[in-house]
Amino acid sequence: MKLSRPRWRGAFRSLTRLLSPANPSRRGHPPPDALAGWDWPAILRVASDLRLASTLHWRLADHGWLPLMPDAVRDWTEGAAELGRMRAEAQREEALVLTRLMAAAGIKTVLLKGTAALFDGLYPDPGARYSGDIDVLVPADRLDAAQALLRAQGFAPIQAPYAMTARAKHLPRLAHPDRRFGIELHQNVVEPAFQLALPPTAMLERAIPAQDSAAVWLPSPEDRLAHCLAHLMDDRRQSPVPLLRQMLELRLLAERTPPDWATITARFAAAGVRGELMDTLATAEALVGLAWPPALRRPRYGLAWRWRLWQQLHVPGLARATRLATLAAPLLRPRRLGGLLRRAATSGDIRAFIGPRLRDLRDRTDPRA
């Protein structure tokens, strides 16, 4: 799927309307009779590529548009939703086994991202949120013990080993031959560029218990939203396609527990990524209807943000070229290049400095990842 092709770009726009709040008076929401012109085969293809297939049935029902759908489309979305529920139930059971195992060993674990959504009712339909593995935050000093515990249960790494430093994100993914989901043990929840905004020790301290399971801990509402934002910002650096699944989750989190946007902004400003935060919020507003305070917006970001969004939707190749130019900039500035090399050399392990980033670049080649 390439958004530079008009058919896929049109389907992507239709999909953003479905993911936006179900309010006909809001900008970007067509009346139901406009659905007759939608290219449903293309929409279903784009939704599948972006891991949103199981989300469509809920969104169509929320808009009240299910009765207007062709029978084949309605049946397809119902089937995808049912498969999503089956997957979610299996993931929830495996997550419960994991958290109880860790709790018995005295290791506090905090479930992250899609797995957390299975325990806090964020989505009206539990199968609406696709999740590929189980991400869990553990204290850095218990990381090796947690891995040893899983290895004793038959788990083994399915990624090449790499050196771990204090700034590394997680251990190589672990998998079990009889389990459906891999497990990633995190000591940090985000990449180094965003770690000042989400210190793991503070996240562990602020974690809250799930209502229906004493062994399950979840991030606090503010940390959960900040984590979603940081992932979106990092994904924007890697993928030419806006990741609607994460943007939808951001909107749902903000609607359920309205955040203190000033505090959120201060956290990311401390990490030096305030501009990226503004870009991400503005893009989520344009694509999925996220509501955020106008007072935070700076007029000078407007044109630059619109230009970057236009590149992503219309000329993704240009967006890639822009990122490559940014990465190549140090080569044109010897002093800056020297500084980066010194940072790498003094980090203790050059492989640890670049390894996690290269691995994530490899894993994110597919925008569905």
- Residue-wise pLDDT tens digits, 205-234: 999 999 877 789 999 999 999 999 999 998
Is the predicted pLDDT of residue 288 greater than 70, yes or no?
yes
- Name the more confident of 174 and 165: 174
Provide the 3-class DSSP secondary structure of residue 23: coil
Indicate whether 187 and 232 sit together in one domain.
no
User: Per the domain annotation, does 16 fall within a domain?
Assistant: no
Exposed, middle or buried: residue 214 (CB in 10 Å: 0-12, 13-18, 19+)? exposed
Q: Is 350 in the same domain as 229?
A: yes
Distance CA 310, CA 318 (A): 10
Burial class (CB in 10 A: 0-12, 13-18, 19+), 303: exposed
**Residue 197 domain-assigned?**
yes
Residue (of 200, 208, 249, 255) closest to 229 by Cα position: 249
The number of helix segments (H) and strand segments (E) in the chain equals 15, 7
* CB-based burial, 10-35: b 16+ in 10 Å, e otherwise: bbbbbbbbbbbeeeeeeeebeeeeeb
- Rounded average pLDDT over 160-188: 85
In a domain, 79, yes or no: no
Q: In the chain, helix, strand, coil percent, each to 5?
A: 65, 5, 30
Residues 262 and 278: their CA atoms lie apart, in Å, by 12
The answer to whether residue 86 sits within a structural domain is no
Verify that 188 and 259 share a domain, yes or no: no
Cα–chain center distance at 219: 15
Q: Are residues 208 and 257 in the same domain?
A: no
Question: Token pair for residue 115?
Answer: 């797995």
The answer to the question of residue 2 being in a domain is no
- The SS3 call for residue 169 is coil
- Strand 208-210 and strand 213-218: the pairing is antiparallel
Reported confidence tier of residue 369, pLDDT bands at 50, 70, 90: very low
CA pair distance 314, 2, nearest whole angstrom: 9
Q: Are residues 236 and 319 in the same domain?
A: yes
d(CA 144, CA 48): 37
Percent of the chain scored above 70 by pLDDT?
Answer: 74
Q: Quick one: pLDDT band at residue 368, thresholds 50, 70, 90?
A: very low
- Check whether 309 has a pLDDT greater than 80: no
User: What's the rounded mean pLDDT across residues 172-197?
Assistant: 92
Q: Which candidate, 197, 351, 345, places its Cα nearest to that of 267?
A: 197
- In the three-class reduction of DSSP (H, G, I as helix; E, B as strand; rest coil), residue 209 is classed as strand
Instruction: Identify the pLDDT of residue 305.
Output: 62
**Whether 200 and 239 share a structural domain:** no
β-partners of residue 209 are 217
Q: What is the pLDDT of residues 66-121, one digit of tens each?
A: 888 889 999 999 999 999 999 999 999 999 999 999 999 999 999 999 999 999 99
Question: How high is the pLDDT of residue 318?
Answer: 60
Quick check: 158 pLDDT over 90? no
Whether 114 and 166 have beta carbons less than 8 Å apart is answered as: no
H-run or E-run covering 135:
strand 133-137
Q: 23 lies in a domain?
A: no
Indicate the SS3 state at residue 148.
helix
- Given this model, what pLDDT does residue 90 score? 96
- Indicate if 231 and 319 belong to the same structural domain: yes
For residues 314 and 325, membership in a common domain is answered with: yes
Mean pLDDT of 122-134: 93
The answer to whether residue 250 scores a pLDDT higher than 90 is yes
Confidence at residue 27, expressed as pLDDT on a 0 to 100 scale: 41
Q: Hey, is 203 helix, strand or coil?
A: helix
Domain final residue, candidates 198, 219, 240: 219
For residue 210, list its beta bridge partners: 213
What's the structural domain count of the chain? 2
Domain that holds residue 149: 92-219
